[in-house]
Structure 1
Amino acid sequence: MKVLELSNLEDSLLLTFDGAFDQQAPLERELEPLLGDLERYADGWMPEIVEGKRRRKYSRSAFWKALEEKRHERGASIGLYRTTWPALEMWPRLNCPPLTPKLAILLEVQPLAFFSEAERCRLFVEMVRAWASHYPVTHAAAHSVADRGLAGSPDFGRDEKASQRDGFDKIYEVFWLNVFGPKLVETVGRERMLSTPAHRVEELPNGSVLLVTWPTVADFASQEARLAQARAHAHLRPDLDFDTILRTLHDRSAMLAPVKPRFPPDMAPLLSRVVDRAASYERQRRIAEFNAWQPPEPEEWRPADFALPTDVEDLERAREHYSTLAEHLVALLHSEVPSVFAAKPESLTDADFYFWREEFPKSRLREAIDEHAVPAIGAYLGEVLVRNLGGRWIPRQKLEEAQVLVGNRVWLPFVRARNYMRSRQSLLDYSLTHLYRVAERHAARVGPS
C-alpha cells in the first residue's frame, strides 16, 4: 500500500506532544483514549494506514498488531499514514524503563491550508486537550512547520545536548496551540498564565494549561494573528520587549511570503530542484537569493585561433581515452542518474543536481575527487559537447590542456571540472549545464565547426 509522502514544497501543521502514561495499567486500556480521541476529532485527516513490520489498513486491531510487532524492552514506535489528500505522518512512541517513561507523539498534516476553517481547528484543539487531560504533558505545541523552523524549534539557540536534557523548560516561544505542563505553569505563575490574552486559555484537571492564540492556524502569519501571538508571548515573558517580539514575528512572516522564481534561464531547471530540497522555512529565501544571483560567465575557453595544437601522436587513441574516462562517470552515476547514458544536455543538469545533493566535494576524499572524479567529469562534459554540438576533440598530453572545438571557440572541459569540484557552491558557480548552454549559444551564432 502506497502512502502519501510529505513534501518540502508545502507547509504543514506539526504537533509535538510529550506526555506520561501509566505503565502499571494494561497497555490497550491505557492507549484506548489516544485512539478514541483521534477517531473522534480527526476531521478529514484520519489515518488510513498503520505501519509496524508491514503496512495494514487502519483499525484498532491493526494498531495493536503493529505495536506488538515493534515493541521492545525499551518501548515501541509505529507509523500512521494516509493514502489520500491531505497527507499525514503520525508517530506515537512509548519509552519504558530504563528510559524515562514517556508517551511522545509527532503528528504532521499537510498542507497547512487544510486547517483554514475554524471548526476543523477547534476539533484539533479538542483532540489535543483530551490527550493532555489523560496523558499529563510537560509540553505540547501545534504550529506551522515552516514558522517553527524560523523560530529555532526545538533547540531555540541551545546546543543539541542542552536541548535534549532540558526540553521546553521555559517559554521560548508561544505557538498557535500550546499545552504547558504543571512545572512550566508554576515557573511562569499560574495566575499570570491563566490571565494570558489569547483566543482560548483553559486550565486542565491535571494542572496543565491549554493556550490557543488564534481561532485558525492556516493564517498564523497574518498581522492580526501575529499581534495575538506577540501579546501572549510578551505576557508570559515580561522580561522581553513586546515591540521586539512583534517585529521578529513580522520578519518571519515576510520570510515566508511567496516569492516568484525568476532564475537565470540557463540555470532554472537546476535551481528549481535545488530550491525544492530546501526546508519549507528556507524555501522563499532561497528563491529570492537565486533570483538575484547570476552564474559567472565561463572562463574555460579561448578563441579557436588561439587553440593549442594537438601534441599526441595517436589522435584516435586519445579520443578513445576520453570516451573511457566519460564511461567512468556513467558507471559512477548510472543508478542514481539514469540519464547519464544518453549524454544529453539534460544529463548534465541531472549530474549537477546529484553532485549538489550529495555535497560531493565535501563528502568524498579530495584525493579521489582529483584523481578520479575530475577526469571523468571533464571527459563526460567534453563528450556531451562533441555529441550534441558537433564539437571536435583536440587532444593534448595534459588533460587540463585538452580542448573541444565548437564553432569559433575551444572549450576546456577538464579545467571546468576542476573548478566545479572545489566546493558545493562551485557546483552552481561552475555548473556543467551553464557551460554547455553558453557553448550552445555561441555555436548557434557561427554555425558548424
Structure 2
Amino acid sequence: MKVLRMHDLKPEDRLLLTFDGAFSPQATLEHELAPFLQAIEEYADGWMPDVVKGKRQRKYARAAVWKSLEEERDGNRTNLGLYRTAWPALDMWLRLWLPPRASELGIMLTVNPLSFFAEAERCHHLVELVRTWASRYPVTYAMAHSTDDRALAGAPNFGRDDETEFRDGFDRIYEVCWLNVFGPKLVETVGRERMLSTPAHRVEELPNGSVLLVTWPTAADFASKEARLAQARAHAHLRPDLDFDTLLRSLQERSALLAPVQPRFHPDLAPLLSRVVDRAASHQRQRRIAELNAWRPSEPEEWRPADSALPPDVENPERAREHYRTLAEHLVALLHSEVPSVFAATPESLTDADFYFWREDFPKSRPRQALDAHAVPAIGAYLGEVLVRHLGGQWIPRQKLQEAQVLVGDRVWLPFLRARRSMTSRQALLDYSLTLLFRSAERHRG
C-alpha cells in the first residue's frame, strides 16, 4: 500500500487540525479510543484513512489500530499514524501518554489540499467530528485552520521563544482560527459569558465546560473579505485589549500575501523559475512569484564579436577540444544520478542542471577549492559542448580555460567565464544561468 506522503506532493495550502486533551487512565485503551475512531468513521467525509502505520503498515481496521499502538508502546507513551492512498492526502498522528504520567491524548491531522474543504456540508462534518472528540476527551485547546495562514500568523510561538511556547502552550487567545475549542481554563481566563457571546458562525458550550467556536461556514475561504471580518470581530471580542482595526488590517495583509499571482517570468527562464517557485513554502509562493515576475536578469556579457575573437594559442587544438569533452563528461559523472538528462546534453539539460545547482545551493554547500578546481571547469565545458552540438558552435581553444571560446554565428561565447560567475552565490545561479546564455546565443546565431 503506497500512501500519499505530504513531502512527495507539490507544496500547497492544507488544513491543519490539532487537538490536545486527556482520557481516563482507568479504562482500557480500546474502550477509551473507541469514540475517537467512531467519530472518524462517521464524520471523515471523503478523507477517511485507509492505512494504519505502527512498526509496519496495515489496512485500516480497529484491530490494526490496537496492534499498532501495542507495538509502538515505549514505556509510558505510544503513537501511530493514519494515512490515505488516494486523493486527498491525509497525514494524521495520534500520540498517547500513559500512566504513571497523566494520561494525555494529542492529535495532529493534515489534509491536502485545503480546497477540499470548500463545501459547507463537508466542513460541518469536520466540526461535528471535533465536537464529538471535545465532548468525550477533556480538551486544553483544539483548532483547525489553513497551514499557510498559521505560518504567516507566527504559530505556534506567536512571537514567543521556543522554551516559553513549550512551557505555556496556548495559554491565552493569541489567534482565532476557523475552528476553535477552548478548554475550561481558557474559557475562565476570557470569561464564560464573554466567550459564549462571541459573534461567530457557531458558538456552543460543551458538556465538560469547553466552548466550540467556528468563525465561518467553510474553511477554504478563510481569506475572503467576509471571513476575515468575522475572524477579526471574534478575536477583538475575546481580546478587548486589542484594537479591532489593527487586527482586521493584519488579517487583510495576510490575505494579500496569499492572493494568487499570475507568473510572468522572463520567457527564457520560465521553466527554471517555475521550479524555483515550487520549492518555496506554500505560504511564501505568491510573494516569490511576484518577486520573480519583477526580476529581469541582465543579458549575458560573456561574449565578443567574432572578429574580435582571441586566436587559438595551443599547440594541438584538437587535443584541447578532446580535453573539453572530457571535462564535460566529468559533469555527467557528477550529476547523472540526480539529473539524468545530463546524458543527453540538450538545452533542457542545462535548465535541469541550473535548477539542481540552485536547489543544492552549490556555491555555499561545496568547498570553494573544489568548485574552482573541478566543478567550474566541468560546467563550462558542458555548456560549451551544448553550444557546439545544438547551435553548430566551434571551439576556439585557449591555454587559459576562461579564455576558451565557442564560435556561434557572429559571436564567440565564453562558457568557462559564465560557469565561474554562476558559482559565486545562489542568486548568481539565476543571474548567470547556463540556460540564459544558451538562449541568448541561440537568438544571435544569425
TM-score of the superposition, structure 1-length normalised? 0.93
Alignment of 1:104-253 (within 5 A): 104-253=106-255
Residue in 2 aligned with 1:278?
Answer: 280
Note the C-alpha offset of 1:23.
3.9
Residues in 2 aligned to 1:376 and 1:97: alpha-carbon distance in whole angstroms? 61
Letter in structure 1 aligned against 2:296: Q
SS at match of 2:444: helix
SS at match of 1:78: strand
SS at match of 1:211: strand
Note the C-alpha offset of 1:366.
2.4
Residues in 2 aligned to 1:164 and 1:339: alpha-carbon distance in whole angstroms? 47
Cα distance, 1:381–1:100 mapped onto 2, change above 3 Å:
farther
Residues in 1 aligned to 2:252 and 2:188: alpha-carbon distance in whole angstroms? 30
User: CA RMSD of the aligned region, Å?
Assistant: 2.0
Residues in 2 aligned to 1:417 and 1:382: alpha-carbon distance in whole angstroms? 10
Residue in 2 aligned with 1:356?
Answer: 358
Count of residues in correspondence between the two structures: 444
Letter in structure 1 aligned against 2:287: R
Residues in 2 aligned to 1:279 and 1:102: alpha-carbon distance in whole angstroms? 32
Cα distance, 1:18–1:365 mapped onto 2, change above 3 Å:
farther
1:312-360 CA-partner distances (Å, limit 9, x unpaired): 2122222222222222221221111110111111101111111122222
Q: Which moved more, 1:383-392 or 1:98-107?
A: 98-107
Residues in 1 aligned to 2:388 and 2:105: alpha-carbon distance in whole angstroms? 61
Determine if contact 1:256/1:284 at 8 Å carries over to the other structure.
yes
Note the C-alpha offset of 1:379.
1.6
Note the C-alpha offset of 1:413.
1.3
Cα distance, 1:276–1:97 mapped onto 2, change above 3 Å:
farther
Determine if contact 2:25/2:99 at 8 Å carries over to the other structure.
no
1:365 aligns with 2:367: yes
1:377 aligns with 2:397: no
Q: 1:387 aligns with which of 365, 386, 389?
A: 389
Determine if contact 1:261/1:287 at 8 Å carries over to the other structure.
yes
SS at match of 1:220: coil
SS at match of 1:330: helix
Structure 1 portions without partners, runs of 5+: none
Residues in 1 aligned to 2:264 and 2:126: alpha-carbon distance in whole angstroms? 38
Note the C-alpha offset of 1:176.
0.2
Residues in 2 aligned to 1:251 and 1:287: alpha-carbon distance in whole angstroms? 17
Residue in 2 aligned with 1:52?
Answer: 54
Note the C-alpha offset of 1:100.
7.4
Note the C-alpha offset of 1:441.
0.9
Residues in 1 aligned to 2:389 and 2:75: alpha-carbon distance in whole angstroms? 61
1:307 aligns with 2:309: yes
Residue in 1 aligned with 2:16?
Answer: 14
Residues in 2 aligned to 1:136 and 1:355: alpha-carbon distance in whole angstroms? 51
Cα distance, 1:418–1:45 mapped onto 2, change above 3 Å:
same
Cα distance, 1:435–1:206 mapped onto 2, change above 3 Å:
same
Letter in structure 2 aligned against 1:78: L
Residue in 2 aligned with 1:3?
Answer: 3
Determine if contact 1:303/1:409 at 8 Å carries over to the other structure.
yes
SS at match of 1:140: strand
1:421 aligns with 2:423: yes
Residues in 2 aligned to 1:34 and 1:263: alpha-carbon distance in whole angstroms? 48
Residues in 2 aligned to 1:212 and 1:57: alpha-carbon distance in whole angstroms? 33
Note the C-alpha offset of 1:46.
0.7
Residue in 1 aligned with 2:439?
Answer: 437
Cα distance, 1:442–1:49 mapped onto 2, change above 3 Å:
same
TM-score of the superposition, structure 2-length normalised? 0.94
Moved over 6 A (4+): 97-100
Residues in 2 aligned to 1:18 and 1:30: alpha-carbon distance in whole angstroms? 15
Determine if contact 2:325/2:381 at 8 Å carries over to the other structure.
yes
1:352-377 CA-partner distances (Å, limit 9, x unpaired): 11112222222222222222222221
Determine if contact 1:8/1:279 at 8 Å carries over to the other structure.
no
Residue in 1 aligned with 2:267?
Answer: 265
Cα distance, 1:55–1:171 mapped onto 2, change above 3 Å:
same
Residues in 1 aligned to 2:192 and 2:40: alpha-carbon distance in whole angstroms? 29
Letter in structure 2 aligned against 1:86: P
Note the C-alpha offset of 1:196.
1.4
Note the C-alpha offset of 1:95.
4.0
Structure 2 portions without partners, runs of 5+: none
Note the C-alpha offset of 1:83.
2.1
Cα distance, 1:267–1:173 mapped onto 2, change above 3 Å:
same
Residues in 2 aligned to 1:119 and 1:242: alpha-carbon distance in whole angstroms? 30
Note the C-alpha offset of 1:24.
4.5
Alignment of 1:341-352 (within 5 A): 341-352=343-354
Cα distance, 1:363–1:213 mapped onto 2, change above 3 Å:
same
Determine if contact 1:137/1:180 at 8 Å carries over to the other structure.
yes
Residues in 2 aligned to 1:97 and 1:427: alpha-carbon distance in whole angstroms? 55
Determine if contact 1:393/1:405 at 8 Å carries over to the other structure.
yes
Note the C-alpha offset of 1:45.
1.2
Letter in structure 1 aligned against 2:385: E
